[in-house]
Amino acid sequence: MVQSVDHQQLIGFIGLGAMGSRMITHLKGVGKLIALDADPARAAEAVVTSEAIAARSLHELATAHVVILMLPNSKIVDEVFKGSEDKKGLIDILSAGSMIIDMSSSDPTHTVANAKLAQDKGLTFIDAPVSGGINGAASGKLAIMAGGTQAQFDQALPLLSKMGSNVVLAGAVGAGHAVKALNNLLGATIFAATAEVFSVGEKFGLDPRVMHKIVNASSGGSFMSNHMWPGPVLDKTWNFGFAMQLMHKDVGVAMSLIKATGIDTVLCQDSAKIWDEALKAAKPGSDMTILAQQIQHKAGL
């Protein structure tokens, strides 16, 4: 049974980067918000945008009923959750009955392990990664794929539905992170193929804008061609808002899953190699759409 929003609950939100800073705005008024980020200025900004309290340390979230994580990778999630030799983590400071929702793009094997540790402490740890980019985060229309039990999903849904318009229970804990990684591998492969095909067309003499109009109205159209070619690629702004490093990380997580299954995936392996080379060639902090620029340069465009 889906629970209603408890406006008295204390909600911690850790990770206020490009996505998290936009997602937290949709929780304004839902409960008492406490925002924490490695950059204090981001937490201070959440005071203005979301009426949150800016926390200076993890300990200020000790009484939170729910803590949402929106962090760059599993290593950082693990550090925040489990702590380190000289710092306590959420597992040490939260009270039994509290819920941790990892909305980061984490490694599902880490997620399953963290959920087990949480359960042993009387805590709940579920995954709920997102898709939709900064536009989806800003509009509150993210796709959210959760992993956990039905009861856990029902408990988290009132909060998740504030940030996303398509919230689905993917399966047991870790399933959300697994499908997110596989989805991004698929998207990364489609993006690379689209960039190569458009480069061939332009080299032949086709107008890329005319080609884009035709492709998007035909069977070759995709989310990538629809959302990343207008603006970022065609206008050469290369600013879709998703870092190449993050896409590369998700591709790596997906490839680990593929390796674990023992399935031979030639196309996916080629895609992973392309993104490996792209990251090495790109400047730090580059947007994922820079791959299209790299492919254009290789084509002599």
Span 248-264, pLDDT tens digits? 999 999 999 999 899 99
Q: Is 55 helix (H, G, I), strand (E, B) or coil?
A: coil
Two tokens at 251? 């591709």
Catalytic residue among 75, 180, 280, 283: 180
Whether residue 111 sits in one domain with residue 226? no
Whether residue 132 sits in one domain with residue 211? no
Whether residue 103 sits in one domain with residue 80? yes
What mean pLDDT do residues 6-33 have? 91
The Cα angle at residue 90 between residues 84 and 64, in degrees rounded to 5:
155
CATH code for the domain in which residue 262 is found: 1.10.1040.10
Whether residue 115 sits in one domain with residue 235? no
Partners of 145 in the beta sheet? Answer: 168
Q: Is 62 helix (H, G, I), strand (E, B) or coil?
A: coil
pLDDT digits (tens, 9 = 90+) for 141-180: 999 999 999 999 999 999 999 999 999 999 999 999 999 9
**Phi, psi (degrees; rounded to nearest 5) at 287:** -70, 150
Check residue 5 and give its pLDDT. Answer: 55
DSSP 223: H
Is 180 among the residues known to form the active site? yes
The Cα angle at residue 18 between residues 12 and 22, in degrees rounded to 5:
55
Does 4 fall in a domain? no
| Containing structural domain, residue 289 | 179-298
Check residue 259 and give its pLDDT. Answer: 93
Whether residue 162 sits in one domain with residue 193? no
pLDDT digits (tens, 9 = 90+) for 32-49: 999 999 999 999 999 999
